Copies of this chain bind each other. A is one copy, B any other.
Amino acid sequence: MTRTTTTRKDVLQEFRRTEILAAAAKVFGEKGYEATHMMDVAEAAGLAKGTLYLYFPSKDAIYEATLRAAVSELQILTEDHIGRETDFAGKLAAFVRVRIAFWSEKQSLYRVIVSLGREAHNQKRSIALQRKVVEYLTQLFRRASAAGEIPEQDFEAAAWATMDAIRGVNERRVYSEGNTTEHDTRFLTEFLLNAVGWRSVQGGPQ
């Protein structure tokens, strides 16, 4: 096995890569995918176009990396917030809240993602990225079931349905005034807790 050593060059490259992606997210959000050119991203990142190409071979590669960076940031936030909760209801509420609040703050980027998610190519990529979150959520459901908090069920299907419901709310928030993050979070959390049978196991109020 080789030991991984981080050199000064690695650090600088990683730093610049992060700067490019932050600039790209901004440009994509403002101009949309089609109207964005490599030159716009280079300018926003304060780089020569040639330098940008050293980091990313194409606009699609930048877009994919932007998407992955956002998804990764969201996953870190999700795990952080869920980690602070002790019971399943709190964890599911945190999962819903983080995902609504995160995209609410990045609405212009979210609009680009939604608009691009529809092409077959992007659709498959989007399903692949979602699959990781679905696996995470499936584990959350499985542990809750092991702890007697929810009954046995098709946890993966429940995870997909949970993701679908959250995605729907987020998409409508982009195109209409909609409700507050708190209102949408509360409704969805209760809807989903019921859906996975949390109340019935707890024997809570009807």
Which residues of A approach B to under 8 Å, CB–CB? 111, 114-120, 123-124, 127, 151, 153-154, 157-158, 160-161, 163-165, 167-169, 171-172, 175-176, 187-188, 190-192, 194-197, 199-201, 206
Contacts and interface: CB of A to CB of B under 8 A. Distances in A.
Contact of A118 (B117, B127, B190, B199): B117
B120 A119 contact: no
Given A118-B116, A123-B115, A172 B160 contact: yes
Given A151-B206, A167-B168, A199-B200, 18 more contacts: A111-B120, A115-B118, A115-B120, A115-B123, A123-B171, A123-B175, A127-B172, A127-B175, A127-B176, A153-B190, A161-B169, A163-B168, A164-B164, A164-B167, A165-B165, A194-B197, A197-B199, A197-B206
Secondary structure dominating the interface of A: helix
A168 B175 contact: no
16 contacts: A115-B118, A115-B119, A115-B123, A116-B118, A118-B118, A127-B172, A127-B175, A151-B206, A157-B187, A158-B191, A160-B168, A161-B168, A192-B195, A194-B196, A199-B200, A201-B206
A197 B119 CA distance: 36
Contacts of A157: 187-188, 191
Contacts of A175: 120, 123-124, 127
